[in-house]
Structure formats: structure tokens, C-alpha cells
Amino acid sequence: MVAKLGENAALQVVGFASDGAEAVLKAAELHPDLILMDVNLPELSGIQAAARIRWVSPESKILFLSQILDFDVALAALDSGGLGYVVKSDAENELLAAVEAVMSGKRFVSALLANRVIGDLNPPDGLIR
């Protein structure tokens, strides 16, 4: 993912964290403009870490990047303070657009996840479940 971010010269990676607790400490120390956060992290989940980061670095924007393709997980991530949620399988095509949207204060959700939700809301033959 770092290589993908490198395609945008305006982006500079300023730090890494190996778990959620370290992510909170780094956010408090560095106050980055953008934080890429996985949902599944040791020590403290990405969702729990994001909620804490909102307190220690409220100006930082959080973009979740996860392999989990589940609307409830994405919603929890967004509710915890994230502005975007990118499914890792879509990252090659969506990561830079997601970064741009989140940095502009807009929400972003991977198309693959959005299409699943829309498909669930609009069942075939117009049947209501």
C-alpha cells in the first residue's frame, strides 16, 4: 500500500504502527493529516484505536483499509471516527480516490461493499425481504 500511496507526490508517510495501541501513541505524537488503519490489529482493534485517536488527534482523518467485506464492520469503523473504508481487494483501484475523498472531508466506501449492500436492499424480482 505504501507503493500505491507513493503514486501521489503530495503524500508522505511519516510513521508506522504495528498494533492499535501503538497507532494511538503515534497519532498523539505525530498528529498526521491522514491515518490508514486496518480493522484487525493486535492489542487494540483498529475500531477501538480510531475512537481513541479521535481524542488525541481530532484533526487527523482516518481511512480504514481492511480485507473484511462486511457492512456491519464497515459501519462500526465509520462510527468510530473513520471517514472511509476500503476493502483491500479494491485498494489498487480505489485507494488514491479514497484518500482524496477523505482528505476533502467526504465519506468513501469501497464499491464492492456498496454494491453488496445495494444488492441486499434491492432483491431480484422486486421482492421485499
Nearest to 61 by CA among 94, 44, 85, 83: 83
Overall number of domains in the chain: 1
- How far are the Cα atoms of 59, 110, 127 from residue 55, in angstroms, in the given order? 9, 26, 44
Domain carrying residue 101:
2-126
CATH number of the domain to which 85 belongs: 3.40.50.2300
How high is the pLDDT of residue 79? Answer: 94
pLDDT digits (tens, 9 = 90+) for 84-118: 999 999 999 999 999 999 999 999 999 988 876 54
Q: Please give the model's pTM, rounded to 2 decimal places.
A: 0.86
Place of cell 484505536: 49
Specify whether the CB–CB gap between 53 and 27 falls below 8 A: yes
Specify whether the CB–CB gap between 51 and 76 falls below 8 A: no
Nearest to 33 by CA among 96, 99, 97: 99
